[in-house]
Homo-oligomer: A and B are copies of this chain.
Amino acid sequence: MQNQPAKSPGIKEIASALGISIATVDRAFHNRPGVNATTRDRILKMAAKLGYRPNVAARALKLNRRLRIGVQLPLEIASFFDPLGEGIRAATDAMFGVDLDINFSTYPRLGSGDIDLLHAALKEKYDGLICTPGDAAKADPMIRELGRNGTAVICVASDAPRSERLASVSIDGYISGSLAAELLSHTLLVPGTVATITGALRTLDHAEKLRGFAATIALVAPHLSLLPVLESHDNPEEAYHQARNLLKSHPELRGLYISTANSLPVLRAVREHGQLGRLRIITTDLFEELLPMLETGEVLATLYQRPFTQGKTAAELLLRFLVEGMRPNSTMRLAPHIVLRSNASHFARYLGAAHSLTSDTTKPV
């Protein structure tokens, strides 16, 4: 059935079959100068005839390239960026055959210190960089400069689309917002009012979420009227006060979509107003404190943005590009996970201790 493998031919076999040296064969394959056009053809023909496939192991060994990769993530919000970093770590750990030097560095929060770090990355001369630009406008020129200096940049969880970054990995914001609207529409069957609290509208992602939410409310639940969006500017206290004001001025409110990760202060305000359980709430991301509320139904659902997967995907795409030259699509959008009470426990395990795909038992080398 299967023909014998017959030991796959190397450049040595090609060379001796043509009576030339392996150096020439090597030159021909890498179309380096110094090889006659006709010999080059003969070599390629012979390679095809013998079914030559380069030995990846030997190549990897010889090249022995060390890839220096920088990772720049904010410390806040840890429940999101910690698993994202772990995802990156998981992808790089799984990479063998390449010498990787991963350099994690952090800054306080989105939009505070990130530009300085990007600037510092210029001197590091990384082969690749994974970052989450807070303000695209400011990050753009830095990322473009990094690209010119030979650093491939991938944005994760946020984007700087007008820079010439290699790719960006993030959640599809429009789908997130749209899902929130759809889920609310399932339980809000009579006319009423719904509201949204977001982070910062200048962030592309948040704007997308609201677009999706508004469009889908209009489409599938025209009986619901949507209040103007509230911007919390990624500030917990502002989020709390805006929620208080909202609840005070709109006692008729029936549904709430919290599209920022700062959902806890909002939920506190809702509880203080005795509205928890009556108000239908969709949140974003997953926290320890959210689990009991999902359990009781006080929070209808949360849209989990899969930080681990985002990190893993970003690192995989970057490595694939650096190692094999495979250029990824410029934007990769993941679908958020809809977390209800039934599947909350499944995602909760990403919250606590470090997650790993494999156990630690190693067999002797």
Q: How many copies does the complex hold?
A: 2
CB of A205 within 8 Å of the partner chain: no
Taking a contact as CB atoms under 8 Å apart, the answer to whether A337 and B340 are in contact is no
Query: Which residues of chain B are near A327, meaning CB under 8 Å?
Result: 358-359, 361-363
Within 8 A of B (CB), among A9-52: 29-31
- Asked if A190 lies at the interface with its beta carbon under 8 angstroms from chain B, I say no
Q: Would you call A325 an interface residue if the criterion is a C-beta within 8 Å of the partner chain's C-beta atoms?
A: yes
Asked whether A214 is an interface residue with its Cβ less than 8 Å from the other chain, the reply is no
Interface segment among A58-66, A225-233, A285-293: the answer is: A58-66
Could you tell me if A324 and B362 are in contact, using CB atoms closer than 8 angstroms? Answer: yes
Q: How far is the CA of A97 from the CA of B347 in the complex (A)?
A: 33
The answer to whether A343 touches B335 (Cβ under 8 A) is yes
Given A57-B57, A97-B60, verify A66-B5 contact (CB < 8 Å). yes
Q: Does A7 contact B (CB under 8 A)?
A: yes
Q: A98 an interface residue at 8 Å Cβ cutoff?
A: yes
Q: A29-B365, A97-B56, A364-B30 are in contact. Are A358 and B186 (CB under 8 A)?
A: no
Q: What is the chain B residue whose CB lies nearest that of A3? A: B103
CB interface residues, A 189-238, toward B, < 8 Å: 212, 216, 220
User: Residue-by-residue, is A330-345 near B (CB-CB < 8 Å gives 1, otherwise 0)?
Assistant: 0011011110111100
- Establish whether residues B365 and A105, one from each chain, have CB atoms under 8 Å apart when the complex forms: no
For A362, the chain B residues whose CB sits under 8 A away are 324-327
Chain B residue numbers with a CB within 8 Å of A178 are 342-343
Q: Give the distance in Å from the alpha carbon of A221 to the alpha carbon of B178 in the complex.
A: 26
**Distance in angstroms between the alpha carbons of A326 and B7 in the assembled complex:** 26
Contact with B along A153-189 (1 / 0, CB 8 A): 0000000000000000000100100110111001100
Decide yes or no: A357 and B337 within 8 Å by CB, A55-B99, A97-B97, A342-B216 being known contacts: no
Cα(A129)–Cα(B95), bound, Å: 21
Q: Chain B residues near A94 (CB, 8 Å)?
A: 316, 320
Judging by beta carbons under 8 Å apart, are A320 and B54 in contact?
no
A181 to chain B, nearest CB (A): 7
Report B-chain residues with C-beta under 8 Å of the C-beta of A338: 337-338, 340
> Contacting A359 at CB < 8 Å: which of B1, B2, B329, B361?
B329
**Per-residue interface assignment for chain A, residues 107 to 125, with 1 indicating a CB less than 8 Å from any chain B CB and 0 otherwise:** 0000000000000000000
The reply on A328 being an interface residue by CB < 8 A is: yes
State in angstroms the CA–CA spacing of A23 and B243 once bound together. Answer: 69
> What residues of B have a CB within 8 angstroms of the CB of A347 in the complex?
335
- A contact residues vs B (CB 8 Å cutoff): 1-2, 5, 7-8, 29-31, 53-61, 66, 68, 94-99, 101, 103, 105, 172, 175, 178-179, 181-183, 186-187, 212, 216, 220, 313, 316-317, 320-321, 323-329, 332-333, 335-338, 340-343, 346-347, 357-359, 361-365
23 CB contacts below 8 A, A to B, read A2-B103, A29-B365, A30-B365, A55-B97, A56-B99, A57-B58, A57-B60, A57-B61, A57-B97, A57-B98, A60-B96, A94-B320, A175-B346, A216-B342, A316-B357, A321-B358, A325-B362, A325-B363, A326-B361, A327-B361, A335-B343, A335-B346, A337-B338
